């Protein structure tokens, strides 16, 4: 019987189906299955090993040098990558179209070239003239970056497969690349996967650091870079709210560094500008003495970030009350509301509640609970939280405020930014020597700041 030569692949999660369906059973996304031709699958080895070479197993102990690094010259990018690019590694830079990926990588290319590294920027989206225009806008026309506009992976591979080739290669974007041996259209899952695989293999053999740009669309109409996440060493997401100048580069996977670091940039007429002190930026537009506003002393990776949390409790019209959250988890908001009602007697079940993290930052920490609760109570009662108070702490279901990590760093940052008081959870009992040393630090940091434990 002749086998069907087509299959349906979910462009979001990569699940394969023999028949088309409106909804992917794997990830639950709608309209993500597209028809692609069945690619050759390797035959199983069958029977015994044939022609394989014995591999040598070694012990865990033994010397391995830390991977060498190429600092990019953009310190926010270095922070997120864990100290610079690792030769032979692949980085995926994902983000919505228009968020600034090409801008960031053009600047990174120029900065790297400035440190003497040979860089190739291959654009499949824009013609050379357009890339040059952007470089001119960024004031980077003098940078020694090799530029090409190409989409055929066979040509690109032939160019890069060179021992004297570039040490950093930027592919903008992976969705425009295609391998002519596949029938599927560029941007389809098979193409994205095959092209990434080929480029990553080249990066490993030739030792260059590879940046792959990937667009993320909510509709899933372009192959989601999610399928590439396991193929690359590092996944960076470039995010930001439209209408805000801030752009945040976040590591969601990193084989060579921590994943909770963020890099903060500001998009200006002259390109992306690094923001060394995000707290000052996020608090810049704060108006003092209004109800429903509270400053949260948060942490992003190793760096403290103070942001304003805004809440609005409004009388609800007909129907079920609205809950709208920007920058925080809506489930977490529901929990804080429930605790406020059950433990503090603040019933907001009949009110509309809006919560916003000012500046477009997205907070994932439960440590923001207390600041959210303070903002909600402030709005509900019409009492402003004093402008020089910073708040942090996790709220438990029984209404208790729980200790959170890095209290010292948060307090230090608040003191540095001129806050006079902090509402903080009770301190953890010091454990062993490390804890005792930490305690010594604490008394120092709190000098400028009154810490009220709640």
Q: CB 425 → ligand TYD: shortest distance, Å?
A: 39
100 binds ligand TYD (CB under 6 A): yes
Q: What is the 3-state secondary structure (H, E, C) of the chain?
A: CCCCCEEEEECCCCCEECCCCCECCCCCCECCEEEEECCCCCCCCCCCCCCCCCCCCCCCCCCCCCCCCECCCCHHHHHHHCCCECCCCEEEEEECCCCCHHHHHHHHHHHHHHCCCCEEEEECCCCHHHHHHHHHHCCCCCCCEEEEECCEHHHHHHHHCCCCCCCEEEEECHHHCECCCCCCCCCCHHHHHHHHHHHHHHHHHHCCEEEEEEECCCCCCCCCHHHHCCCCCEEEEEECCCCCCEEEEEEEEECCCCCCCEEEEEEECCEEEECCCHHHHHCCCCCCCCCCEEEEEEEECCEEEEEEEEEEEEECCCCCCCEEEECCCHHHHHHHHHHHHHHHCCCCCCEEEEEEEHHHCCCCCHHHHHHHHHHHHHHHHCCCCCCCEEECCEECCCCCEECCCCHHHHHHHHHHCCCCEEEECCCCCCCHHHHHHHHHHHHHHCCCCEEEEC
**CB-wise, 130 or 181, nearer to Mg ion?**
130
102-121 mask for ligand TYD (x: CB under 6 A)?
A: xx------------------
Return the residues of window 83-102 that contact Mg ion according to CB under 5 A.
102
Q: Select the residue interacting with ligand TYD from 40, 56, 180, 269 (CB under 6 A).
A: 269
Q: Select the residue interacting with ligand TYD from 38, 69, 132, 134 (CB under 6 A).
A: 134
Size of the site for Mg ion (CB under 5 A): 1
175 binds Mg ion (CB under 5 A): no
Does residue 100 have a known ligand-binding role?
A: yes
Does residue 220 have a known ligand-binding role?
A: no
176 binds ligand TYD (CB under 6 A): no
Does residue 418 have a known ligand-binding role?
A: no
95 binds ligand TYD (CB under 6 A): yes
Q: Which does 103 bind (CB under 5 to 8 A by kind): ligand TYD, Mg ion, none?
A: ligand TYD
Size of the site for ligand TYD (CB under 6 A): 15
Q: CB 134 → ligand TYD: shortest distance, Å?
A: 5
243 binds ligand TYD (CB under 6 A): no
412 binds ligand TYD (CB under 6 A): no
291 binds Mg ion (CB under 5 A): no
175 binds ligand TYD (CB under 6 A): no
**CB-wise, 126 or 183, nearer to ligand TYD?**
126
Q: Which does 95 bind (CB under 5 to 8 A by kind): Mg ion, ligand TYD, none?
A: ligand TYD
247 binds ligand TYD (CB under 6 A): no
Q: Which does 439 bind (CB under 5 to 8 A by kind): ligand TYD, Mg ion, none?
A: none
Annotated binding residues, written as ranges, equal 95-102
Residues that bind ligand TYD (CB under 6 A): 95, 97-103, 134, 137-138, 267, 269-271
Residues that bind Mg ion (CB under 5 A): 102
Annotated binding residues for ATP, written as ranges, equal 95-102
């Amino acid at each position: 019987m002749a086998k069907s030569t087509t299959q349906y692949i979910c462009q979001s999660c990569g699940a394969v189906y023999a028949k088309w369906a409106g909804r992917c059973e794997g990830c639950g996304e709608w309209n993500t299955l597209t028809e692609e031709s069945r690619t050759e699958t390797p035959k199983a080895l069958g029977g015994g090993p044939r022609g394989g070479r014995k591999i040598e197993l070694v012990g865990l102990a033994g010397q391995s040098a830390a991977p060498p690094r190429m600092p990019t010259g953009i310190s926010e990018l270095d922070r997120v990558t864990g100290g610079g690019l690792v030769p032979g590694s692949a980085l995926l830079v994902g983000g919505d179209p228009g968020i600034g990926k090409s801008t960031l990588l053009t600047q990174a290319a120029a900065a790297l070239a400035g440190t003497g590294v040979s860089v190739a920027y291959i654009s499949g989206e824009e013609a050379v003239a357009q890339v040059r225009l952007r470089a001119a806008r960024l004031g980077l026309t003098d940078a020694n970056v090799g530029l090409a506009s190409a989409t055929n992976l066979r040509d690109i591979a032939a160019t890069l497969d060179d021992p004297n080739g570039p040490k950093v290669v930027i592919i903008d974007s992976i969705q425009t690349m295609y391998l002519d041996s596949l029938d599927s259209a560029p941007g389809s899952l098979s193409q994205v996967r095959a092209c990434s695989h080929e480029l990553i293999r080249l990066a490993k053999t030739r030792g260059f650091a590879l940046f792959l740009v990937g667009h993320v669309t909510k509709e899933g109409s372009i192959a989601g870079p999610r399928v590439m996440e396991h193929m690359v060493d590092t996944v960076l997401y470039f995010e930001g709210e439209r209408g805000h100048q801030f752009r945040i580069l976040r590591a969601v996977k990193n084989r060579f560094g921590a994943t909770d670091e963020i890099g903060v940039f500001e998009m200006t007429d002259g390109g992306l500008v690094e923001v060394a002190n995000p707290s000052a930026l996020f608090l810049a537009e704060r108006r003092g003495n209004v109800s429903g506003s509270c400053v949260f002393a948060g942490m992003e990776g190793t760096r403290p970030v103070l942001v304003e949390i805004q809440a609005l409790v409004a009388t609800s019209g007909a129907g079920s009350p609205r809950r709208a959250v920007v920058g925080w988890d809506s489930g977490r908001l529901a929990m804080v509301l429930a605790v406020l009602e059950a433990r503090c007697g603040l019933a907001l079940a009949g009110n509309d509640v809006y919560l916003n993290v000012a500046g477009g930052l997205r907070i994932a920490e439960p440590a923001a609970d207390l600041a959210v609760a303070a903002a909600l109570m402030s709005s509900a009662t019409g009492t402003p939280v004093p402008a020089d108070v910073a708040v942090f702490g996790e709220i438990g279901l029984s209404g208790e405020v729980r200790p959170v990590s890095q209290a010292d760093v948060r307090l230090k940052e608040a003191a540095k930014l001129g806050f006079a008081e902090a509402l903080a959870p009770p301190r953890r009992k010091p454990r062993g020597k490390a804890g005792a040393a930490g305690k010594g630090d604490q008394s120092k940091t709190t000098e400028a700041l009154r810490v009220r434990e709640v």
